[in-house]
Amino acid sequence: MWADILFWVFAAAVIVLALAVITFKNPVNSAMALVADLFFVAALFVLVDAHFLAVIQILLYAGAVMVLFLFVIMLINQGPDELGRARRTFAKAVALILLFPLALVVLRVVENVSKGGGFLKVPSDYGTIEAVGRLVFGQYLLPFEVASVLLLAAIIGAVAIAKRRLW
């Protein structure tokens, strides 16, 4: 019962905040709305006992990734006059028209899924830290180790691009 109510509250918050992200004029406001949005997504993960993802959502996304977003926004630092322009009504109209068939497809999918053509059942401890850990250090060991190589490549790429004096 409680879980259902909380789900609808959190889900509504996620959607409202996501809309806020794309409608705010000021990118800093959008970023802040995204932070709040990610908190509610984390809450949704908690509702399905996916604790690890909830923690990641807050630590990595709401924390570190959003800091990076803000730095990039401040780095580019578009003034209000640059942000005020670019009302491409025509482009928006075309986008809306193109969105329509996609929305139909998504609606069909949702309809079909809610009729039971749907998602799989997973065990109740599916997303807990222990369960995720067993998967990461067991079945998904190779992806885990490859991720370290990927992160290293990202570190080198970031330094190679952004370091002011590189030798």
Partner 1 sequence: MTVTINDVVVILPFLVASGGALLIILLDSFSAPRTPRRFLGGFTIFFLAVAALSAYIVPLRTESAFHGMVMMDGLARFLSVVVMLSAGFATLLAMDRLPEQGSARGEFYALLLFSAAGASLLASAADLVMVFLGLETLSIPAYAMAAALRRDVRSTEAGFKYFVLGAFATGFFLMGTALVYSSVGSTALGRLAAASASGWTEKPLLCMGAVMLLVGLAFKAAVVPFHMWAPDVYDGSPTPATAYFATGIKAAAFAALLRVVILSLPGMRAEEINGNEIGWHYIFWGLAAATMAVSSLTALVQKDVKRILAYSSVAHVGYLLIGLLAGKPGGAAVLFYLLVYTFMTVGAFAVVAYLENSKGGTKLSDYAGIAKRHPYAAAAMAVFLFSLAGIPPTGGFFAKFYLFKAAVQGGLINLTVLGVLFSVVSAYYYLRIVVAMYMEQGENQAVIDISPSAAVVTAICLCLLFTIIIGLYPTPYLSVAQASASMLP
Partner 2 sequence: MLSYEAILLLIVLGIAISVVFVLISKFLGPKNPNARKKSVYECGAEPQGSARKRFPVKFYMIALLFLLFDIEAVFLYPWAKLFRELGFLGFVEMGIFMLVLIVGLIYAWRKGALEWE
Contact footprint for partner 1 (CB under 8 A): 105, 108-109, 112-113, 117-120, 137-143, 146-147, 149-150, 152-154, 156-161, 165-167
The pair of structure tokens assigned to 127 is: 């997303």
Report whether 52 contacts 125 (CB < 8 A): no
DSSP, collapsed to helix, strand or coil, labels residue 149 as helix
DSSP, collapsed to helix, strand or coil, labels residue 123 as coil
* CA count, 13 A, side-chain hemisphere, 23: 6
Q: What are phi and psi of 125, to 5 degrees?
A: -95, 25
Question: Would you say 115 or 165 has its CB closer to partner 2?
Answer: 165
CA distances from 137 to 71, 140, 141, 144, 158 (A): 34, 6, 5, 8, 28
Which of the choices partner 2, partner 1, none does residue 119 contact, using the CB cut-off of 5 to 8 A by kind?
Answer: partner 1
Query: Applying CB under 8 A, does 149 fall inside the site for partner 2?
Result: yes
Which of the choices partner 1, partner 2, none does residue 118 contact, using the CB cut-off of 5 to 8 A by kind?
Answer: partner 1
Query: Applying CB under 8 A, does 21 fall inside the site for partner 2?
Result: no
Which positions lie near partner 2, rule CB under 8 A? 3, 46-47, 49, 52, 55-56, 59-60, 63-65, 67-68, 71-72, 74-77, 79, 129-130, 132-134, 136-137, 141, 144-145, 147-149, 151-152, 154-156, 158-159, 162-167
